[in-house]
Amino acid sequence: MSGIADTPEPPYVAVIFTSSRTPTDDGYAETAARMDELAALQPGYLGVEAVRATGDSGERSLGITVSYWATEEDARAWKRVVEHRSAQQAGRDRFYEEYTVRIANVARAYGFERSA
C-alpha cells in the first residue's frame, strides 16, 4: 500500500482536483473519508491518489487528489452522485478557499519501483 494507484494500461481518465483549504474543520475529514469510500464503489473506478500538505497554522493547506476512471462518462457519473453533490456543496460552503478540477485523458504511463 504505497498510496500510488495501481491503474491498468492507458487509455483511462484522470480527474485532477487541486484545492486550497479553509481553516475550518467542521466535518471535513469525515466527508473526505466518506467520499473516498463512496467513489471506490462507483462503476469504472480505477483508483485514487491524494496528498494534502499539513500547513503551518494560519497557512492555507494545498491538496491534490487524482481519481482514475475507465471512461469520461464514469467520471461524470461520479460527479452527479447525490451524496457526492452534497459534499461538493459543503466544499464550496465551508471547506475550500479555491479549487480547480481538470479532466484529462491518460495517454501513456510508466514507473519505477526499487528492488528489495
53: contact with a second copy by CB under 8 A: yes
What is the layout of strands, in order, in the sheet containing 62-69?
A: 12-21, 62-69, 45-52
Q: Is 47 helix (H, G, I), strand (E, B) or coil?
A: strand
* CA dist list (Å): 102 to 3, 4, 64, 111: 21, 19, 11, 22
How many alpha carbons lie under 13 Å from residue 108 in its C-beta half-sphere? Answer: 1
63: contact with a second copy by CB under 8 A: yes
**Binding-residue pattern over the window 71 to 100 for a second copy, x denoting contact by CB under 8 A:** -x------------------xx---xxxxx
Q: What residue type is 46 in one-letter code? A: L
62: contact with a second copy by CB under 8 A: yes
Least distance in Å: CB of 51 to a second copy? Answer: 4
39: contact with a second copy by CB under 8 A: no
Least distance in Å: CB of 42 to a second copy? Answer: 19
User: Which grid cell is 54?
Assistant: 499539513
- List residues near a second copy by CB under 8 A: 2-5, 7, 10, 14, 16, 18-20, 22, 49-54, 60, 62-64, 66, 72, 91-92, 96-114
